[in-house]
Amino acid sequence: MKTLLVTVILALTMISACFAANDTILAEDETETAVSYIIAGETTPPFIRKFFVKYINQNNESEYWLRISYIKTDRLKPYIDIEIKGEKFRVWAFEEYKKRHLHAGESTKLEFHTDKSFEVFPLSSDIVQKIVDKKDLTIVLPSRKRAGMVLKSNEYFINGIKEIVLLRYEDREDYYTNNKKVEISQK
């Protein structure tokens, strides 16, 4: 009985650690003059995670994308459908990744690079602004084996996107993983 109890407690501890970074914005240097801000969404069965990334340089020129990681037993199609309060957008994955798309978030505790099964989908500033304004984001993922998996976004993920959009290059110090994690407030 004690062994079972210890096993259950250990399993719950490991599971909670997987979700601990969900409500945290992290930053890391990408080059001498650019930084990425990252927030992880909740893990959704069958083990799919979404990450919102803002890449920004010292001139405060930004680029946004969603990175979707998934288990290796399936493969995503090269597009996703994004729904924001009834509006639908089809977003195609990058045909060729730049180094920043592959490595953004690599040194964070989110550890979504260990799987290597992922797609990166660019987001226009218009789409990002709609997510922020309408406080909604649903992603429909078609894969080779499934017609469409639905990834809804909770309030923390939306608020994280909202907060990241406002961050400037100069704000990075408070968001480095070696300094502190900034919890997202429910606004």
Whether the pLDDT of residue 9 is over 70: the answer is: no
Whether the pLDDT of residue 12 is over 50: the answer is: no
Higher pLDDT, 20 or 157: 157
Residue 181 included in any domain: no
Which residue range(s) make up the domain with 42?
A: 2-172
- Domain count for the chain: 1
Token pair recorded at residue 165:
């959009």
pLDDT of residue 46: 64
Alpha helices (H) in 120-170, listed in sequence order: 125-134, 155-166
Residue 187 included in any domain: no
Residue owning tokens 């992603």: 139
pLDDT band at 28; cut points 50, 70, 90: confident
CATH number of the domain that 129 lies in? 2.60.40
Beta strands in 23-155 (DSSP E): 24-31, 34-40, 49-57, 62-69, 79-84, 87-92, 118-123, 138-141, 149-152
The mean per-residue pLDDT over the stretch 94-109 comes to: 68
pLDDT band at 17; cut points 50, 70, 90: very low
Residue 186 included in any domain: no
Residue 25 included in any domain: yes
Q: Which of 47-51, 118-122, 160-164 has the lowest mean pLDDT?
A: 47-51
Whole-number average pLDDT of the chain: 78
Q: Which of 41-50, 106-115, 130-139 has the lowest mean pLDDT?
A: 106-115
Element (H, E) at 16: helix 2-19
The mean per-residue pLDDT over the stretch 34-59 comes to: 85
